[in-house]
Structure 1
């Protein structure tokens, strides 16, 4: 499609404006984490790294980071197993209700977080409560896995649609058993999709706050929850900006890697 010069300029201006709306506030968070003034006056009176030192020394912040890493790792592991198995079932087999299963797997990512949180809270109280299992890290992992499964499922299904099963059939014809075929043929074909899905699932879990609020126990505080709890405390404001900046930087890495892996060739880069 051939566009006029004026149209191209307008599209580029709209793109720049859209990116500015998204990323300028993030840049301000990074700048405020180095602002010498505790009130974050603009322009900054000077730059300092003292808030980064205080954030590193904050036991609450370190504990919250560790909890977020544990919850993210657990949710990602569950999502990889269940999302991959569901993707293979839906894409490689024909059975009654296949489209319904696919819809039900994708649905949690579209539901409002507060609805999912309330539903999980009620379910955990009804099912786990009588069994003596209270709210804690386990319930957070289960809650995060409900929407992390979606990104793994979508990545693996997309890869399977681009990978023909003829190679697996040829492997079986040559005498390879099921596990050999999976190891040497199927897994290399979907490996980068699994990595991309896992990275996105971890990023989603690491940043989640709404579902976490409804599924975490009193002693469980992830990094986003810690930020929200300390946001209104004047003495903690500089440290909160530092932690928020770290959260932004940590979120960029898995999303960038996932984007690179998702853009590879059908055979995979790795």
Structure 2
């Protein structure tokens, strides 16, 4: 498609404006984490790493980080099992209601987080409270798994639909046990899709705050919830900037790896 010189300039300007809108605020967070003043003054009078040291020694931030890691790992593990099983059911078998099942799996990630949080809070209070199980880390993991399953399901079902089942059938004809066929044939084909889904699931769980607010009990505080609770405390503002900067830097890693793995999967499927 041919574009005039003015159109190309306009598109480039719009793209630069869009990227600036997305990334300039993130850059400001990083700069403010090095600002020697407690207030977000601009331009900063200098640069210092004292707030990074204070954040490293903050027991509240470290504890919240550990809770976020445990919640993310638990939600990712559940999502990998359930998402993979449902993907196999939808992609490898034809049955009545498969479309409705796919819709039901994808729906949680499309719903507003506050709706999901309220629904889960009501369900946990109704079902778990009579059993003596209150809100805590377990309910946070379950709540995060409801939308992490979608990510794994989408990755695995897309990979299965691009992969013929003839290899698995050939392994079965040669006498391979279903588990052996899965380990030797199916899993290598799905490995990159599973890893990409796991990385994205962990990133989603790690950053979640709305669902966490409704499913976490007293004393259970993830890192995003800790950041939100300390934003209004002037003495904690520099430490919050440091933690936010670290989250931005760490979030790049799983997202970049997931993108590379997804692209490698797509390239492999076309070979």
Unaligned residue ranges in structure 1 (runs of 5+): none
Instruction: State yes or no: 1:67 paired with 2:73.
Output: no
Q: Measure the CA separation in 2 of the matches of 1:155 and 1:7.
A: 36
Determine helix, strand or coil for the equivalent of 1:48.
coil
Determine helix, strand or coil for the equivalent of 2:159.
helix
**Deviation readout 1:102-156 (Å, 9 max, x if unpaired):** 0000000010000000000000000000000000000000000000000000000
Q: Measure the CA separation in 2 of the matches of 1:134 and 1:228.
A: 23
**Deviation readout 1:29-73 (Å, 9 max, x if unpaired):** 011000111112100000000000000110000000000000000
Q: Measure the CA separation in 2 of the matches of 1:107 and 1:117.
A: 14
Task: Give the drift of 1:3.
Answer: 2.6
Q: Measure the CA separation in 2 of the matches of 1:49 and 1:81.
A: 42
Matched with 1:95 is 95
State whether residues 192 and 265 of structure 2, in contact with CA within 8 Å, keep that contact through their aligned partners in structure 1.
no
Matched with 1:203 is 203
Instruction: State yes or no: 1:230 paired with 2:230.
Output: yes
Matched with 1:146 is 146
Matched with 1:156 is 156
Superposed, 1:38-117 pairs within 5 Å as 38-117=38-117
Instruction: State yes or no: 1:244 paired with 2:249.
Output: no
Q: Measure the CA separation in 2 of the matches of 1:165 and 1:5.
A: 50
Task: Give the drift of 1:184.
Answer: 0.9
**Deviation readout 1:171-218 (Å, 9 max, x if unpaired):** 112221211110111000010000000000000000000000000011
Q: Measure the CA separation in 2 of the matches of 1:255 and 1:265.
A: 15
Unaligned residue ranges in structure 2 (runs of 5+): none
Q: Measure the CA separation in 1 of the matches of 2:34 and 2:74.
A: 33
**Deviation readout 1:64-86 (Å, 9 max, x if unpaired):** 00000000000000000000100
Matched with 1:23 is 23
TM-score by length of 1: 0.97
Matched with 1:9 is 9
State whether residues 200 and 255 of structure 2, in contact with CA within 8 Å, keep that contact through their aligned partners in structure 1.
yes
Matched with 1:137 is 137
Greater shift in the superposed pair: 167-176 or 229-238 = 167-176
Instruction: State yes or no: 1:168 paired with 2:165.
Output: no
State whether residues 83 and 152 of structure 2, in contact with CA within 8 Å, keep that contact through their aligned partners in structure 1.
yes
Q: Measure the CA separation in 2 of the matches of 1:211 and 1:262.
A: 27
Q: Measure the CA separation in 2 of the matches of 1:265 and 1:110.
A: 25
Q: Measure the CA separation in 1 of the matches of 2:225 and 2:57.
A: 18
Q: Measure the CA separation in 2 of the matches of 1:29 and 1:154.
A: 33
Matched with 2:217 is 217
Q: Measure the CA separation in 2 of the matches of 1:223 and 1:27.
A: 20
Matched with 1:34 is 34
Q: Measure the CA separation in 2 of the matches of 1:36 and 1:12.
A: 36
Determine helix, strand or coil for the equivalent of 1:263.
helix
